[in-house]
């Protein structure tokens, strides 16, 4: 190190220490307390109506949205943990960078970035709620969620993808209240057509993420701009909000609104507000879809809805909505609490229920509520699986038909993208896992060799992020093929290494996030942190990994099977575990998508 660089490093470190000490004297941001004169500034009341306000006329859209990742955006435990960690590591200088996309209403209302979800407003916890998309009247483009939402109560104008004249006509004909003080069901007085809402650029407001240091964390929209899909006019909405996930197809026709008196607006193309993507809600099904008690009866009609209402009458209609996240986590729905089978078996037994759940009537109401939510979650997961099965496949498993006993084998598997819009995986590619699980199965049914299997202890792939691989307790999977990207940081001695989280841990003495002083193009290198996407699957591209199986896998004669399974999950277990979210990991492992599968028979003969 030269004297000049040493001086600069010392000065930066001293400045860091001094400013950190100054910052340490400031109290952490807190939610306003009762009686606080500033409480109104943080309130969303009268400024942004809840999605439940829209539900009476838009039941179908509400039901779809309630189980979407948009609705889960702020409730997500990984989002809350990541945001808090980034704010902590950068001493708050990152501001509301994360939450302004995950809870735009809360950010607009002034909720601090580190405010825990337990203290956020109801509308804030709805994440990307109705008004986040339908109360924007300005074309922003790639602004990383830095949006201005038009404020107003439920009567204020909304903006949509269709001519809104029908709104005023319908309200007048049905006697709907469109202003305070009027009698009848309440709704917005007018709705204007907003063209940007129909374009992919609208999605880019949050799905193109460049952090303050200039690192392109998500470039899904940029990929789409240069894609075949863009040239052919296929928008984000066509694949993620259409009737067939991943494929542009004709939208179904129907009324956008059904009024409380049964009147319907004229038929028009209907988009699906589940907006399926790569992730799943890793949360107790009592908490989500969309918060405890908020969605009573959303997943079912008729008898199921009546059943839940009947069960609630035995306790309290507000019982479900009074439950906290921790209350729900003490409800063991996996054991069957609240079902006829469990409750009959539990009678007369000294079952150690938590105090809140000792009452059978409460367990039965909660059990029915969870059952209906699980049915809705399953519906969303089915659409998610279709998204991937329509987007990628195993094109070829190239294995010779015969093989000699006690000899090694080489073969390849070709994975092809059917998607023309963007890379696979999309979104944040460093924690999306699309991988091949390849097995050699002997004539006696035993697996004699495999790659891409999960660590039996923690369900991670056996790569460099598996804790047991790092400690030497599990073998490294040298032949693993995965299209996962990697966050790569440059250490203080110039070597690169992969990290699981987008914060550099080596070689930077500054404790505050500041913009780069010079563009990377002038120095011929990045700013010390980059995303390695060399293994991702490009649009309409392919990858053909080779596999080499040792001779000890073929010790029997007869017919072997070489099986390749293409699998996907939105986030690896190590990501949850590194944040201490141990109770949430199971949901990720249970939601692995079996995308495609191919099997080839291999006749192993003696002396071949």
Contact 244, 390 (CB under 8 A): yes
Report DSSP state, residue 454.
B
pLDDT of residue 335: 96
Q: What is the mean pLDDT of residues 574-586?
A: 93
Least confident of 219-223, 258-262, 274-278, 386-390: 258-262
Nearest to 539 by CA among 236, 122, 157, 229: 229
Residue 526 has pLDDT above 70, yes or no: no
SS3 breakdown of the chain: % helix, strand, coil, rounded to 5?
A: 30, 15, 50
pLDDT of residue 586: 92
pTM attached to this predicted model: 0.87
pLDDT of residue 20: 33
One-letter-per-residue 3-state SS of 479-535: CCCECCCEEEEECCCCCEEEECCCCCCCCCCCCCCCCCCCCHHHHCCCCCEEEECCC
Residue 26 has pLDDT above 50, yes or no: no
Confidence class of residue 494 from pLDDT cuts 50, 70 and 90?
A: low
Top mean pLDDT of 89-93, 188-192, 239-243 is at: 239-243
DSSP for 256-271, please give it. Answer: S-B-TTS-BPPEEE--
**419-446 residue pLDDT tens:** 999 999 999 998 899 999 999 999 999 9
Contact 113, 94 (CB under 8 A): yes
pLDDT of residue 462: 97
CA–CA dist 298, 56 (Å, integer): 11
Higher pLDDT, 47 or 358: 358
**361-410 residue pLDDT tens:** 999 999 999 999 999 999 999 999 999 999 999 999 999 999 999 999 99
**72-130 residue pLDDT tens:** 999 999 999 999 888 888 888 888 999 999 999 999 999 998 899 989 999 999 999 99
Contact 527, 516 (CB under 8 A): yes
For the chain, the average pLDDT equals 85
Confidence class of residue 2 from pLDDT cuts 50, 70 and 90?
A: very low
Higher pLDDT, 496 or 335: 335
Report DSSP state, residue 547.
E
pLDDT of residue 517: 63
Query: Which H or E element spans position 34?
Result: none
CA–CA dist 58, 71 (Å, integer): 16
pLDDT of residue 162: 83
Confidence class of residue 25 from pLDDT cuts 50, 70 and 90?
A: very low
pLDDT of residue 584: 93
Q: What is the mean pLDDT of residues 553-579?
A: 96
Percent of the chain with pLDDT over 90: 62
Residue 4 has pLDDT above 90, yes or no: no
Using alpha carbons only, how large is the chain's radius of gyration in Å?
A: 27
Nearest to 167 by CA among 44, 275, 45, 257: 257
3-state secondary structure of 497: strand
CA–CA dist 444, 560 (Å, integer): 9
Query: Which H or E element spans position 78?
Result: helix 77-89
CA–CA dist 590, 608 (Å, integer): 43
* Residue recorded with tokens 């699957």: 537
pLDDT of residue 261: 83
pLDDT of residue 504: 56
Confidence class of residue 608 from pLDDT cuts 50, 70 and 90?
A: low
Confidence class of residue 489 from pLDDT cuts 50, 70 and 90?
A: confident
* Residue recorded with tokens 């009698």: 183
Residue 39 has pLDDT above 70, yes or no: no
pLDDT of residue 407: 96
**497-525 residue pLDDT tens:** 888 887 655 444 444 555 666 665 565 55
pLDDT of residue 558: 97
Confidence class of residue 18 from pLDDT cuts 50, 70 and 90?
A: very low
Confidence class of residue 531 from pLDDT cuts 50, 70 and 90?
A: confident
């Amino acid at each position: 190190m030269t004297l000049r660089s040493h001086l600069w490093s010392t000065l930066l470190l001293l400045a860091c220490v001094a400013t950190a000490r100054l910052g340490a004297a400031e109290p952490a941001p807190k939610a306003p307390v009762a009686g606080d004169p500033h409480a109104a500034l943080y309130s969303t009341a009268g400024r942004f109506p809840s999605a439940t306000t829209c539900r009476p006329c838009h039941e179908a859209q509400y039901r779809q949205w309630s189980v979407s990742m948009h609705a889960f955006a702020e409730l997500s435990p990984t989002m809350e943990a990541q945001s808090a960690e980034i704010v902590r590591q950068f001493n708050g200088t990152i501001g509301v960078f994360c939450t302004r996309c995950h809870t735009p209403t809360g950010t607009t209302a002034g909720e601090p970035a580190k405010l825990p979800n337990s203290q956020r407003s109801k509308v804030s916890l709805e994440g990307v709620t109705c008004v986040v998309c339908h109360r924007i009247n300005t074309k922003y483009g790639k602004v990383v969620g830095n949006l201005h939402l038009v404020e107003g109560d439920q009567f204020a104008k909304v903006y949509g993808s269709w001519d809104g004249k029908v709104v005023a006509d319908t309200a007048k004909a049905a006697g709907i209240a469109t202003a305070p003080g009027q009698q009848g069901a309440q709704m917005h007085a007018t709705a204007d057509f907003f063209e940007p809402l129909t374009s992919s650029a609208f999605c880019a407001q949050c799905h193109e993420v460049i952090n303050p240091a200039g690192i392109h964390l998500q470039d899904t929209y940029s990929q789409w701009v240069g894609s075949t899909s863009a040239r052919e006019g296929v928008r984000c909405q066509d694949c993620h909000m259409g009737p067939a996930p991943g494929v542009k197809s004709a939208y179904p026709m129907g009324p956008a609104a059904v009024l409380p008196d049964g009147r319907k607006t004229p038929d028009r193309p209907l988009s699906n507000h589940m907006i399926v993507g790569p992730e799943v809600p890793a949360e107790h099904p009592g908490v989500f879809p969309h918060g405890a008690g908020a969605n009573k009866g959303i997943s079912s009609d008729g008898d199921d809805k009546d059943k839940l209402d009947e069960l609630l009458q035995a306790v309290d209609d507000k019982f479900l909505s009074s439950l906290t996240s921790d209350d729900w986590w003490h409800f063991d729905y996996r054991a069957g609490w609240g079902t006829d089978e469990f409750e009959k078996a539990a009678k007369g037994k000294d079952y150690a229920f938590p105090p809140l759940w000792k009452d059978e009537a409460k367990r039965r109401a909660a059990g029915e509520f969870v059952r209906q939510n699980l049915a809705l979650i399953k519906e969303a997961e089915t659409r998610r699986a279709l998204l991937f099965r329509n987007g990628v496949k195993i094109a070829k498993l190239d294995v010779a038909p015969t093989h000699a006993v006690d000899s090694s084998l080489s073969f390849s598997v070709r994975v092809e993208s059917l998607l023309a819009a963007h890379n696979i995986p999309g979104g944040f590619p460093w924690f999306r896992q699309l991988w091949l699980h390849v097995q050699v199965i002997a004539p006696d049914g035993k697996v004699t060799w495999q790659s891409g299997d999960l660590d039996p202890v923690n369900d991670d792939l056996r790569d460099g992020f598996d804790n047991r691989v790092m400690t030497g307790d599990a073998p490294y999977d040298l032949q693993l093929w995965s299209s996962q990207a990697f966050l790569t940081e440059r250490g203080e001695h110039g070597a690169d290494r992969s990290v699981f989280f987008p914060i550099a841990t080596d070689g930077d003495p500054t404790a505050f996030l500041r913009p780069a002083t010079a563009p990377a193009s002038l120095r011929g290198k990045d700013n010390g942190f980059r995303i390695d996407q060399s293994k991702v699957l490009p649009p309409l591209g392919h990858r053909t990994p080779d596999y080499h199986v040792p001779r000890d896998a073929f010790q029997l004669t007869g017919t072997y099977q070489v099986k390749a399974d293409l699998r996907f999950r939105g986030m690896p277990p190590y990501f949850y575990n590194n944040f201490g979210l141990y109770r949430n990991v199971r949901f990720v492992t249970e939601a692995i998508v079996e995308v495609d599968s191919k099997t080839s028979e291999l006749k192993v003969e003696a002396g071949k």
